[in-house]
Amino acid sequence: MSDFVVSHDQGVLTLQFNSPQTLNAMTPTMVEACTHELEEAVGRDDVRVVVITGSEGAFSAGAALVGENPIEHFDVTAMDRANRLIRAVLRLDKPVLAGVNGIAAGVGCSLAIACDLQIARESAVFLLAFGRIGLTCDGGTSATVAASVGRAKAMRMALLAEPMTAREAAKAGLISHVVPDGEYDDALAKLTYRLAQGAPLAFAATKKLINATSLAQVEQALERERSAQSALFSTHDAAEGMQAFAQKRRPVFEGR
């Protein structure tokens, strides 16, 4: 079974994370595969809209933390992969729709928010969990979340790592659509069809204009996040946070 599934039908390119046993936590291979498809979609006449989603009740729980000491698998290349993925979403000349069918946490939340539109099940939650494991914002969230919900709510999500329900996220302006769970599949299909039938040149121009104004600092944010996160990867607190997550216990942070 592939952990990343690609399908194409009637102008719709669907990219699905498919590792339900880990709540679709993203491995480096999955991130690279998703990025590749987004970059290849630029200029493709047979792609009118891209849908990014997850399998079996989860969008993505974030980066895959594996092994007894997960920090061993993280360095600056992890940030470079995440940043390339977010840039691919923002730079694509088509609408990118996040189908959030469950939890979107960590870089999974970063990816969903970077998309142009989001349609979420009412039971979905959005979580910037970085602080729980001794890390900071990445995936451009220091820019995208603050631009969407304002400084106070962005600080609350990032510092306290409080989950935000889909209803709360829609009300705050973090996501564009929320629907009851039983209506999700139909609503996703209808919104996807509407985008696929839209004017592609106008969509491309509109996306570029709105992002240029609302996310004018996103490139600088990605670079700042890369620097800050890379420094944190070498700290005791990050190692402890990731190890505690793997061991399902509360971390003990020491500020070093």
- pLDDT confidence tier of residue 67, bands split at 50, 70 and 90: low
* Percent of the chain residues past pLDDT 90, beyond the cut: 89
This prediction has a pTM of 0.95
Report if residue 224 sits inside a domain. no
Q: Please check whether residue 105 is in contact with residue 127, taking contact to mean a CB–CB distance below 8 angstroms.
A: yes
Report if residue 36 sits inside a domain. yes
Report if residue 238 sits inside a domain. no
pLDDT digits (tens, 9 = 90+) for 138-168: 999 999 999 999 999 999 999 999 999 999 9
| CATH label of the domain that carries residue 78 | 3.90.226.10
Report if residue 255 sits inside a domain. no
pLDDT digits (tens, 9 = 90+) for 226-244: 999 999 989 999 999 989 9
pLDDT digits (tens, 9 = 90+) for 83-98: 999 999 999 999 999 9
119 forms beta bridges with 99, 177
Return d(Cα 16, Cα 24) in angstroms, integer.
Answer: 9
Return d(Cα 121, Cα 25) in angstroms, integer.
Answer: 19
Domain count, the chain: 1
List the domain range (segments joined by +) for residue 26. 4-182
